[in-house]
Amino acid sequence: MFIMLIWGLVVAVWAGRSLAVGCPQPPAPLSFPLADTQVNPRVPGSLMRGIPVRIGTPPQNLVMLPWPDLNNTYIYDDQTACNTKLIDNDEICRVRRGGYYYETESTSFTKTTDVIDAGGAPVEIDTLGSESGIPKLVSSSLAGTDRFAAGDKEPVTIPVGIPRLQWDGGFTISHALGLGPNSTYLNALVAARQIPSRVWSIFWGRMWMGSADMDGAIVLGGYDKEKVIGENFTAQLDYSENMGCWTGMRVIIVDVIANFPHGADVSIMSGNLPVRSCIVPQRQLLWEVPVDIATELRKKAGLVSSSPSMSITAFHALATMLNTTASDSVFDGDLTFVLSSGLRIRVPNNQFIVPRIGYAEDGSRVVDQSQKDLLVYSVTNQQPSTLGRYFLTAAYLMINHEAGTFTMWQGNPSRKSTLVPVSQTSEQCSPESSGDGLGTTDNHTTDDGESGGSSGNNGGQNEPESDPTTETSVSIGTIVGAAVGGAAGLACIVALVMFCLWKRRRQRGPETGGFLPDDGPVAYIDNTGPKEIGSLPPMATELVAEDLRPELNGDFRGYELHGSGPYGGVLNRGGY
């Protein structure tokens, strides 16, 4: 009798299991810290912020940044030097890259002909504004496969590209964890049933506040609902050239408000068109923005740039260096970004006016509290505007490659974590067992009602293709613009060229080579990489040649554009 009962139970359990075979329990999301991590075991201060990972056998520790616009993962060994104009020495290079990978010391590294042969994604993005070396990465990198794990999770074997060229701008040079639409890492985790879907989320954390600093976090397969506030904004990922956003995440900023501590809220975009910005989490600043808005921001906030006004060697390269003695006090209010969707993101003052960060010879981080940098870089109207990592100190971002959407919330800087899985839209299982049922798979998850499975279906919130406000303003602008267009356009090009020029570092002697793929003269450098004079528009090249050539030997870092409307400006030296 007793044995019969046991048998009955066994059969019942077996039957229950086999019924569920068509639809196994989906795995829970994974979460990794985005933290300041010591890179060189011998130098305590050799810190880089990123995701601590392990690669190879025996495991080697590295620190990586997530890249939404790369499909493959690219990890440096010690063979491709840093740009010596931007990075002082090899120790600093090693720290800023997040350590070196020694593939020859890994018994699990299997070399292949190239990245594609390793099973890597065949295509990387080629959109204007992205780092100019990206399209060459697939064909030029040393490649293979190796065991790889973020945090302390179970390793998966993934294709790895080991760059053999300086493919980036030289500023965001950490190892790149490719989390693009055909991400080999996300694909491998889904295949290994470590995560439920090709969805990932990011909160950058808070930095430069000493003991009040807070780690950020990356969630794979869902998001962290403790770190979001209120309604979300969801739009399609759109990588197309005419969107002008290589991460697929373009937003329209209709206003930015300086929130003075004593209550006054002042728009810094008065009279300006909305700004289309691309969200690029790996970029080192808060905002790359058209020069007239950057100027208005400084003017209204009472910020004075120092002379020279920016550095390309500081950790926050291209940030505006402030002259803290030129005014009684430095602006201590916040900045609120108002998006066309109505979402408002208030970035706290200490996440965009920060101490100057550098590196000592041994690669340890140096925080100079006596100097302040404004994490805003002025671009010309032709260059794309970006919202960088410091935007994600105040906003929470989720990228859903299953649904082809991205979702943003106001961030909540909480140390707590409640992971919510987001399911694949094309679930193989029966409807009863998919969707919100996922919520029960993770003991971190509490409220099923907020499970994000439906995020792919809310097309109603998608950003309109073209903003009506913009179109109206443009047509008014065209009338005015026609009158002054010619002269202003010319002035603009001259100004743009001069603004963007800067001399190689003063301390350095003659160039030691290896800076540009094809040893051309460097006109200027920005986040996409160095630009040659020959790559400028023909008219600009002429102007450089005839009018600016002598100045090429001068120091251009102190030049600033003084905006007088979106299409004009005069050039002056120093602060305004």
Ligand X SMILES: *[C@@H]1O[C@H](CO)[C@@H](O)[C@H](O)[C@H]1NC(C)=O
Task: Count CB neighbours of 111 within 10 A.
Answer: 14
State how far the Cα of 298 lies from the Cα of 268, in Å rounded to an integer: 9
**13, containing H or E segment:** helix 2-20
Task: Count CB neighbours of 181 within 10 A.
Answer: 18
Single residue of 167, 239, 331, 406 touching ligand X by CB under 6 A: 239
Q: Which is nearer to ligand X, 103 or 131 (CB)?
A: 131
Is residue 236 at the binding interface for ligand X, with CB under 6 A as the rule? no
CB of 571 to ligand X, least distance (A): 17
Q: In the window 182-221, what residues touch ligand X (CB under 6 A)?
A: 182, 184
State how far the Cα of 313 lies from the Cα of 293, in Å rounded to an integer: 24
Q: Which is nearer to ligand X, 50 or 456 (CB)?
A: 456
Q: Which is nearer to ligand X, 71 or 295 (CB)?
A: 71
Q: Where are the beta strands (DSSP E) in 315-426?
A: 320-322, 334-339, 344-347, 353-359, 365-374, 376-379, 385-387, 395-400, 405-411, 419-421
Q: Which stretch binds ligand X (CB under 6 A): 4-12, 81-89, 120-128, 360-368?
A: 120-128
Q: Which stretch binds ligand X (CB under 6 A): 162-170, 178-186, 199-207, 263-271?
A: 178-186
Q: Which is nearer to ligand X, 18 or 443 (CB)?
A: 443
State how far the Cα of 238 lies from the Cα of 181, in Å rounded to an integer: 11
Q: Which stretch binds ligand X (CB under 6 A): 45-53, 231-239, 250-258, 310-318?
A: 231-239
Is residue 378 at the binding interface for ligand X, with CB under 6 A as the rule? no
State how far the Cα of 34 lies from the Cα of 150, in Å rounded to an integer: 11
Q: Which stretch binds ligand X (CB under 6 A): 175-183, 480-488, 527-535, 539-547?
A: 175-183
Is residue 132 at the binding interface for ligand X, with CB under 6 A as the rule? no
Is residue 426 at the binding interface for ligand X, with CB under 6 A as the rule? no
On whether the CB atoms of residues 230 and 272 are closer than 8 A, the answer is: no
148 Cβ contact list (under 8 Å, min separation 6): 53, 54, 55, 73, 155, 156, 157, 158, 160, 185
Task: Count CB neighbours of 443 within 10 A.
Answer: 8
Q: In the window 53-72, what residues touch ligand X (CB under 6 A)?
A: 69, 71
State how far the Cα of 347 lies from the Cα of 410, in Å rounded to an integer: 10
HSE-up (13 A, CA, CB side) for residue 88: 16
Is residue 180 at the binding interface for ligand X, with CB under 6 A as the rule? yes
Q: Which is nearer to ligand X, 279 or 335 (CB)?
A: 279
Q: In the window 395-414, what residues touch ligand X (CB under 6 A)?
A: 407
Give the alpha-carbon dihedral of 557, 277, 265, 567, to 10 degrees: 60
State how far the Cα of 28 lies from the Cα of 189, in Å rounded to an integer: 12
Which of 463, 459, 456 is closest to 401 using CA atoms?
A: 456
CB of 503 to ligand X, least distance (A): 17
Q: Which of left, alpha, beta for 435 (phi over 0: left; psi -120 to 50: alpha)?
A: left
Is residue 452 at the binding interface for ligand X, with CB under 6 A as the rule? yes
Q: Token pair for residue 189?
A: 């985790």
Q: Which is nearer to ligand X, 363 or 384 (CB)?
A: 384
- Sheet with 305-310: strands ordered across: 305-310, 320-322, 365-374, 353-359
Is residue 454 at the binding interface for ligand X, with CB under 6 A as the rule? yes
Single residue of 87, 121, 330, 548 touching ligand X by CB under 6 A: 121
Q: Which is nearer to ligand X, 51 or 399 (CB)?
A: 399
Is residue 424 at the binding interface for ligand X, with CB under 6 A as the rule? no
State how far the Cα of 369 lies from the Cα of 13, in Å rounded to an integer: 64
Is residue 122 at the binding interface for ligand X, with CB under 6 A as the rule? yes
Q: Which stretch binds ligand X (CB under 6 A): 347-355, 449-457, 494-502, 505-513?
A: 449-457
Q: Which stretch binds ligand X (CB under 6 A): 38-46, 136-144, 211-219, 226-234?
A: 226-234
Q: Which stretch binds ligand X (CB under 6 A): 48-56, 200-208, 259-267, 323-331?
A: 323-331
Is residue 516 at the binding interface for ligand X, with CB under 6 A as the rule? no
Is residue 234 at the binding interface for ligand X, with CB under 6 A as the rule? yes
Is residue 95 at the binding interface for ligand X, with CB under 6 A as the rule? no
**What's CA 168's distance to the chain center, in Å?**
13
CB of 47 to ligand X, least distance (A): 27
Is residue 512 at the binding interface for ligand X, with CB under 6 A as the rule? no
Angle in degrees, CA 272, 275, 279, rounded to 5: 155
Pairing of strands 175-178, 60-67: parallel
How big is the site for ligand X, counted in residues (CB under 6 A)? 29
Single residue of 455, 488, 492, 496 touching ligand X by CB under 6 A: 455
Q: Which is nearer to ligand X, 270 or 454 (CB)?
A: 454
Is residue 307 at the binding interface for ligand X, with CB under 6 A as the rule? yes
Is residue 473 at the binding interface for ligand X, with CB under 6 A as the rule? no
Is residue 491 at the binding interface for ligand X, with CB under 6 A as the rule? no
CB of 142 to ligand X, least distance (A): 18
State how far the Cα of 200 lies from the Cα of 181, in Å rounded to an integer: 11
Binding-site ranges for ligand X (CB under 6 A): 69, 71, 119-125, 180-182, 184, 231-232, 234, 239, 306-307, 323, 325-326, 407, 443-444, 452, 454-455, 458
